[in-house]
Structure 1
Amino acid sequence: MSLLRTAAARLTLALTSIGLLVLTACAAPGAQEGSGADEETTIRVGVPRTFGFLSVLWARDYQMDGYRFEYSFFPNYTDLLSALASGNVDVAEGGDVGLIQTYINTNGGVRAFAVTEPAPGAQSVLVKPDSGIESVADLAGKRVVGSTAANYYPAFVTLLEQEGLSLEDIEFVDSNPNDAIQAYVQGHVDAFISTDPATAFAQEQTDSEILAGFGDIFDNYYPYFASNQTLEDKPEAIQALTTAIADNIDWAVNNPEEYVELLAPELGFSEEALELSIGRGATGLQPIDDEFLDESQEWLQTYGEYDIVTDPDIDLREVFTTDFNDYAVPSGTAG
């Protein structure tokens, strides 16, 4: 479809905070009140705009008796990781690459205490219906926009190889998420690779089709991680937060209409985009067990081959803790 100026303006309004905008973290909108107890243990929770489910807790101002979750919203994901590394927040969530590189950058100063189930439908290659591209093989000679620093990049290369192609057969445009969406919607490239909700937004804006996904190649998951000091000093609060995350994922998955109505105005995405995202995202937390760690360790070597992380030889058993597995199940109290 052709792009109108109004669509471009809408894009700019909705996406300026993806990967570019540096803003002061702002307070959460009120939805539920905390217990107000004098002996509350406080956890400072950093909320990203474009990942996972902490935004649900933030939008609901979700609290648990005996604890105070202080939410700060970060439109720019890099700012959130910096805030965690500098001690300005205690907890964050993001992609596996963000966790691993933050662990490296802080000399092991953070660890993951929970992780979502895989969300294979959350990442995909989009093409427009009038592009003439009907298969991955048709990408030969085309311009594809994405990020070489993203966890999907090695999987995309594998996808090409499965069709007898290589990166030399296409023109890969390396870009941040904001510019990538702009380039795709405005017709400067032929295909777009990203992660929900950015992918869902681009899909909605252009009536695009999913050409391919990466679920058969690798598991895309979202870890929740905290500073070592927080994990050591406030383990009961992290236990409570882990259960709160599990409860709110369960609530979001089972109440998609309420989820969409709640989050769309807060995150600046359309209800249609968030509806697509929740429908193909993770449905809960998974245990951090040997199978998960072994598979992740193997994929970490692949990240190293593509220079996505600076130290692919770290032991992920030092990055992830299993201490909170028992709390990664819904209690049924988030409704």
Structure 2
Amino acid sequence: MPLPPALPVSGSTRRRWLAQAAALTGAVALPAAPVRAAEATPLRIGYQKSSTLTLLLKSRGVLEQALAPRQIAVSWHEFTSGLPLLEALNIGALDLSADVADAVPPFALAAGAKLTYYAIETPSPTAQAIVVRKDSPITRVAQLKGRKVGFAKGAGAHYLLLEALSQAGLSIRDIEPAYLNPADGRSAFENGAIAAWVVWDPFLAAVQRQSGARILVDGTRIAAYRRFYLAATPFAQRHPEVLQRVYEELQRAGEWVKKNPAAAADWHAPALGLDAAIVAAANERRSYAVRPVDTESLAEQQRIADAFSGAQILPRRVAIQESPVWRPA
């Protein structure tokens, strides 16, 4: 069964998601080394433009070379956001997902998706923040009371806002929410239509450098902001050895990005449509340290799920511990 959207979306948007996912079902990759089509096992990987480590593997043909001897044919499929990517995993149109923000898996699981956690990036709490304009009189989160705040509904930024408000003695009912994607959020922020914007890198680095936005509070001691990698559970069960190799290559990619910040920024900037200096600033705040999924990261997944269900944003309560977890050898 297709995964019903956890967030309200228009009929046209949902049809576009499903059409994209359905189109992937018959996709065939061209591996770096010859693989006989009759014997090849497909490995369909979904990613976004911001999927730094996965894009690095794609650009270098690393997985094609590593997996060709195992008769694995790799194909790559780009998505614009995390929720439709996980929907494609659930309906069998993808096998692996690149990283998604920590708030995304609970929404997919609440809608019944059969997903396996297979890796995380360690916390990057400063890679998302609540920002105000440089001339704003607002200096504390408590001063957001009664004001309009922009953020993407269901994103990690949404969870950051919920927790920051709670620590300031407020709730989401004390502000005027404006649900905006990053492009619309940037426009509303710069035009003064919202008093504050909750956003993540590289959009955060861009608005800081280009508009002089001031950070009101970031995720430090509020929201850890881990990135999660997921697999379709049937694929994870059938091919643990493939997950092992992908995991190892993601680790190597993360180490390269942190050891070569200038080269990594120069490489990724054109794909993002940003200056290399902005990408470098964003990469500085991102850990890119790929690790096994541990109990601490799953505990925070549960806290995120509980926060969203408590705010009546999730359709039902999610028990994260019921989701399978692949662990490296």
Q: Tell me, in whole angstroms, the C-alpha distance in 1 between the residues paired with 2:67 and 2:266.
A: 29
Q: Tell me, in whole angstroms, the C-alpha distance in 2 between the residues paired with 1:321 and 1:280.
A: 27
Structure 2 equivalent of residue 319 of structure 1: 323
Q: Tell me, in whole angstroms, the C-alpha distance in 1 between the residues paired with 2:165 and 2:304.
A: 18
Distance 1:137 1:108, change over 3 A: closer
Which amino acid in the other structure matches residue 100 of structure 1?
P
Residue 56 in 1 paired to residue 56 in 2?
yes
Residue 271 in 1 paired to residue 272 in 2?
no
- 1:62–1:69 contact (8 Å) kept in structure 2: no
% identical aligned pairs: 25
3-state DSSP class of the match of 2:150? strand
- 1:256–1:275 contact (8 Å) kept in structure 2: yes
3-state DSSP class of the match of 1:291? helix
Q: Deviations over 1:73-123 (max 9, x none)?
A: 223444423332332221113123322332343x34221111111110111
1:154 Cα offset (Å) = 4.1
Structure 2 equivalent of residue 4 of structure 1: none
- 1:122–1:195 contact (8 Å) kept in structure 2: yes
Q: Tell me, in whole angstroms, the C-alpha distance in 1 between the residues paired with 2:246 and 2:233.
A: 15
Structure 2 equivalent of residue 17 of structure 1: none
Structure 2 equivalent of residue 127 of structure 1: 132
More displaced 10-residue stretch of structure 1: 242-251 or 82-91: 82-91
- 1:114–1:225 contact (8 Å) kept in structure 2: yes
Q: Tell me, in whole angstroms, the C-alpha distance in 1 between the residues paired with 2:176 and 2:133.
A: 17
Q: Tell me, in whole angstroms, the C-alpha distance in 2 between the residues paired with 1:55 and 1:164.
A: 41
Residue 257 in 1 paired to residue 262 in 2?
yes
Runs of 5+ unmatched residues, structure 1: 1-20, 27-32, 327-335
1:60 Cα offset (Å) = 3.0
Structure 1 equivalent of residue 96 of structure 2: 91
Q: How many residues align structurally?
A: 299
More displaced 10-residue stretch of structure 1: 301-310 or 51-60: 51-60
Q: Tell me, in whole angstroms, the C-alpha distance in 2 between the residues paired with 1:313 and 1:139.
A: 30
Q: Tell me, in whole angstroms, the C-alpha distance in 2 between the residues paired with 1:115 and 1:272.
A: 26
Q: How does 1:181-220 map to 2 (within 5 A)?
A: 181-220=186-225
3-state DSSP class of the match of 2:156? coil
Q: Tell me, in whole angstroms, the C-alpha distance in 2 between the residues paired with 1:45 and 1:161.
A: 37
Q: How does 1:101-250 map to 2 (within 5 A)?
A: 101-105=107-111, 107-250=112-255
Distance 1:294 1:160, change over 3 A: closer
1:216 Cα offset (Å) = 0.6
3-state DSSP class of the match of 1:53? helix
1:43 Cα offset (Å) = 1.6
More displaced 10-residue stretch of structure 1: 257-266 or 300-309: 300-309
3-state DSSP class of the match of 1:311? coil
1:141 Cα offset (Å) = 4.5
3-state DSSP class of the match of 1:65? helix
Which amino acid in the other structure matches residue 276 of structure 1?
A
Q: Tell me, in whole angstroms, the C-alpha distance in 1 between the residues paired with 2:219 and 2:59.
A: 30
Task: Please report the TM-score for the alignment, with normalisation by the length of structure 1.
Answer: 0.78
Structure 2 equivalent of residue 66 of structure 1: 67
3-state DSSP class of the match of 2:164? helix
Runs of 5+ unmatched residues, structure 2: 1-15, 24-30
Distance 1:183 1:60, change over 3 A: farther
- 1:126–1:192 contact (8 Å) kept in structure 2: yes
Residue 305 in 1 paired to residue 310 in 2?
yes
Residue 292 in 1 paired to residue 297 in 2?
yes
Structure 2 equivalent of residue 11 of structure 1: none
Task: Please report the TM-score for the alignment, with normalisation by the length of structure 2.
Answer: 0.79
Which amino acid in the other structure matches residue 318 of structure 1?
E
